[in-house]
Structure 1
C-alpha cells in the first residue's frame, strides 16, 4: 500500500503531539453580565379612593390592562382556566427560565431550596398562616389529590361526600377512596336557584341525613358556575357532626379578599396560576399544624421528616422557574390589593349580568348576593340544558361576536355557559357580551 506524503506528515504530527502530552486546560471565558433591564412598573392605586369607586374607573383599569399581553383576535371571557401573567411576572419568569437553563443543576443544588422557602413565607404571609403550614405543589389539583388521598382517619364503613358543583378531579379522588379506604361515597346537589340560607340548609340536611360521613369536599368558589359558598359556617357545621372538610379555594384565592381564618378550615388547597397570575404549574396546600398527622406523607416520602408538611408532597423535578416567579406575582397582587381586585371583578360581572337579568328565558346561576360571587358567573338559556346546546351557544358567541366563553356541565338543572372576565377586561367588552347574550336569548331556536 502506498502512503501519500500528506498522510505521512499528518501521522508524524499526531505522533509528536502525543509525546508532548495533553493540551493545557482552557478555562472558560467569563461572559460580561447582561445589563439589567428595569422591570415594568407595578400598578399604582390612587390613594384614598375606595375600592368600590375605583372599580368603575376605566382610565385606571386601562393602565392595568396595558400590563397584560392579550390577543386582539377575540375577547377573552374564559379566564377561569388559568390566569394570564401580567408583564412584570412574564418577564420575571423568562429571566428565571434563562437563569435555570444557564446554571442547570447548580442552581437546584445550591440556592433553590432557600429561594423556594422564601416563596413559602411570602405565600403564608398573604394567606395569614405560618409557612410551616404551607407546601408548594404544581397546582390546586395536585394539592387536592394529596390531601384527599392522604387523609388517614377514614375506616371501612365510613362515608365521604361531595357536591355536584365540586371540581371533577377532586370528585374522582373522592371516588377512589371507595377502594382505597373501604368507604362509601355520598353525592349531594346544590339547588337552583340558591341563596345563602338555601346553601346552609342544604349542607345541614346532607350532614344530618348521612351520619356516616367523615370527610366532606367543599368548594369555596366552584369552577362551574362561580357560586361562592359560606365556607366558614359549613365547616363549623360539619365539625359539629364530627366531619372534617377539605376546602377547595383554587379559584377564590386572588379573586376574593380573604385569609385562611375566614375559611376556618384545617385542610385547604390554593392555586397560584389562576387569580394570582403566577406561571402555570404553581399552587400549594395548607394543613393546620396540629392536623398534620392526619394526612399521610406522599408515597412514604423520606425527603423531609414526617413532621415537615413538605413530606406531604412529592412532585419530582418541578418547573422551578414557575416557583421562583411567585414572588413577583405576589408583588403585583399586593400593588393592587385583594379588595381592589375583588371590587373590579364583581363590577365586571354585575355590568353584564344586570343588562340581561330581565330576560325571561335567561337563567343566571349565581345569586344577586355579592358575598356569593366574584368574576365568574354562568348563564343558561331556558330549555337549552344539554352539552351540545351549550357548546353551540359558546361557539355562536365566538363565531358571531368573537367572544370566547366555555360550556360547563354539572349543575342540577343542566349545562350552562361560563363567563369569566379578568383584570384586563374592559367595560366595553362586557357590554358587548350583554348585547350578544340578549341577541342569543331572543333568537328562536331552529
Structure 2
C-alpha cells in the first residue's frame, strides 16, 4: 500500500512504514537542465519569506535529493544545488582535459579571485584569507601553528567542540608542554549561562593562553556569543581560535561581528560547494603568531598562504566557488538564516510539551540555526541514541545521526537544509512524539 506523507504523519505509532521510494522535491531531468539561480522577491522580509513554502519549493527543486528517505542529516556536508553540481562537473572535466596547464597558468589567478570574493563577504582583506581543503585542515593549521604557547601555559576547549579539534588541542600537551583544560557547556544552555561558564572557567584557570571556541557546534547546534567571549578572553591575555565551519553560509555575520583574530571555515557545508573546500582567517597584524607550514618557502613569510601547504590538490572545488557563492548571494545570508531557523522552530514547537524529551538548544533565536539535537530523558548512552536514530530511519524513513560529546550524555542530531520542506519536519515531529511515547519509563 502506498501512503501519502500526510497519512504517514497521522498514522505514526500505529503503522511502521516500509523503506521505499517517496515523492521528492528533486528536479526532473528536464528542470535540471534549466535550473537557475533563485530569485528572491524585491524587498522581501526574510522572516516572512522563511514561511513561504511556494518560494522554498522552487529552491528545493534546485537540489537532487534521494527519494528513499527524508534527509535530516545535512550537517556532515551540504548537497550542492544543481547549478553548482553542473559547474563542478564541467570544471572536473576541464581540469582533466588541460591538466597541469591549468594548474601552472590560470589557477593561481582564479584562486586569488575566490579569496578576494570570500574576503569581501566576510568584511576582511584578501591578504587575511588562505584556502584549505576544509574547516578541519584550516583549524588544525591554526592550532598546530600557534606560536605563543610556553611550557606551563594552558589551553582550553569545551565538551561541545568538534572532536578533531579537541584532538588537536590535546596534541599540544606533548608538543608544547601545556596543560589542557576542558569546559562543560551548561544545560540548559542559555546565553547568560554560557557567558557565566566561560567567565568562571577563565577565573579558575588563569594560565589559559589559547581557547578553541565553536561559533555553532556540530553536536547540538548551539550558537554561542562569540564576540562577548572573545572580549572576555582578550582582557585576560587569551587568544581565541574560532571554529566557524558550521556557521558561515548558515548564519548572517561578518568577521566584525565576531572580533576574533583567528578562525577556520568550511565551504562544503552551508555554502554548498563541492567536498574538499575551506579557508582560514588570520587578522593581518597577527600573522606572525601562526607558524609557516612545514617551513614552506613557496610564498614569503608575510603571505598568509605560507601557513598552508597541501601539495597537489583537486582544484575543481575552488574553480566552482563563484557559482556556489552566486547561489548563496542570490538567496542572501539573512533569508537563508531565517529559513533554516524557521525549519528548526517548526518541528521543535510541536514537541516542546513532551515531558521526557530534552531539546538541547534554547528558545533564544540568536543561539541556534537549523541544527538541533534532542535526547530522550534517561537515554544518554551511545548505544541508546544510535538505536533511536536507527528507529527513526526504520519506522519513518527519517535519516538523523547520533552525536556524542555533551557532558550529560549522547543525543540525536537533526539538521534540515534549504531543500527541506514543512512536511519533512512535521513528519519528524510526529515521529519524535511516537518514539518518546514508546520510550517513556
What is the TM-score normalised by the length of structure 1? 0.91
- The reply on whether 1:85 has 2:94 as its aligned counterpart is no
Count of residues in Structure 1 that have an aligned counterpart in Structure 2: 410
Q: Aligned partners of 1:41, 1:382: CA distance in 2, in Å?
A: 45
- The reply on whether 1:190 has 2:185 as its aligned counterpart is yes
- The reply on whether 1:283 has 2:282 as its aligned counterpart is no
- Alpha carbons of structure 1 residues 178 and 60: separation in structure 2 relative to 1, 3 Å: same
- The reply on whether 1:63 has 2:58 as its aligned counterpart is yes
- The reply on whether 1:365 has 2:360 as its aligned counterpart is yes
- Alpha carbons of structure 1 residues 39 and 259: separation in structure 2 relative to 1, 3 Å: farther
- The reply on whether 1:404 has 2:396 as its aligned counterpart is no
Match of 1:149 in 2: 144
Matches within 5 A, 1:267-346: 267-346=262-341
Question: Contact between 2:356 and 2:440, CA under 8 Å: does it hold in 1?
Answer: no
Q: Aligned partners of 1:57, 1:216: CA distance in 2, in Å?
A: 41
- Alpha carbons of structure 1 residues 444 and 160: separation in structure 2 relative to 1, 3 Å: closer
Match of 2:230 in 1: 235
- The reply on whether 1:393 has 2:363 as its aligned counterpart is no
Match of 1:438 in 2: 433
Question: Contact between 2:371 and 2:413, CA under 8 Å: does it hold in 1?
Answer: yes
- Alpha carbons of structure 1 residues 382 and 38: separation in structure 2 relative to 1, 3 Å: closer
- Which ranges of 4 or more aligned residues in structure 1 deviate by more than 6 Å? none
Tell me which of 190, 215, 218 is aligned to 1:223: 218
Tell me which of 197, 201, 205 is aligned to 2:196: 201
Q: Aligned partners of 1:410, 1:39: CA distance in 2, in Å?
A: 44
After superposition, what is the alpha-carbon deviation per residue over 1:311-363, rounded to whole angstroms, capped at 9, x for unaligned? 00001111100111011100000000000000000000000000001101000
**Structure 1 runs not aligned, ≥5 long:** 1-36
After superposition, what is the alpha-carbon deviation per residue over 1:21-65, rounded to whole angstroms, capped at 9, x for unaligned? xxxxxxxxxxxxxxxx98731000011220000001000000000
**Structure 2 runs not aligned, ≥5 long:** 1-31
Match of 1:136 in 2: 131
- Alpha carbons of structure 1 residues 39 and 329: separation in structure 2 relative to 1, 3 Å: farther
Note the aligned Cα RMSD (angstroms): 1.1
How much has 1:412 moved relative to structure 2?
1.6
Q: Aligned partners of 1:345, 1:38: CA distance in 2, in Å?
A: 27
Matches within 5 A, 1:157-168: 157-168=152-163
Q: Secondary structure at the match of 1:356?
A: coil
Q: Aligned partners of 2:234, 2:224: CA distance in 1, in Å?
A: 17
Tell me which of 120, 128, 131 is aligned to 1:125: 120
Q: Secondary structure at the match of 1:175?
A: helix
Q: Aligned partners of 1:334, 1:110: CA distance in 2, in Å?
A: 29
Q: Aligned partners of 1:382, 1:433: CA distance in 2, in Å?
A: 18
Larger Rg belongs to: 1
Question: Contact between 1:192 and 1:412, CA under 8 Å: does it hold in 2?
Answer: no
Q: Aligned partners of 2:355, 2:229: CA distance in 1, in Å?
A: 33
Match of 1:25 in 2: none
Q: Secondary structure at the match of 2:320?
A: helix
What is the TM-score normalised by the length of structure 2? 0.92
Tell me which of 377, 381, 402 is aligned to 1:382: 377
Q: Secondary structure at the match of 2:180?
A: strand
After superposition, what is the alpha-carbon deviation per residue over 1:268-321, rounded to whole angstroms, capped at 9, x for unaligned? 011000000000000000000000000000111111000000000001111100
Question: Contact between 1:349 and 1:421, CA under 8 Å: does it hold in 2?
Answer: yes
Tell me which of 404, 420, 430 is aligned to 1:425: 420
After superposition, what is the alpha-carbon deviation per residue over 1:248-281, rounded to whole angstroms, capped at 9, x for unaligned? 0000000000001101000001100000000000
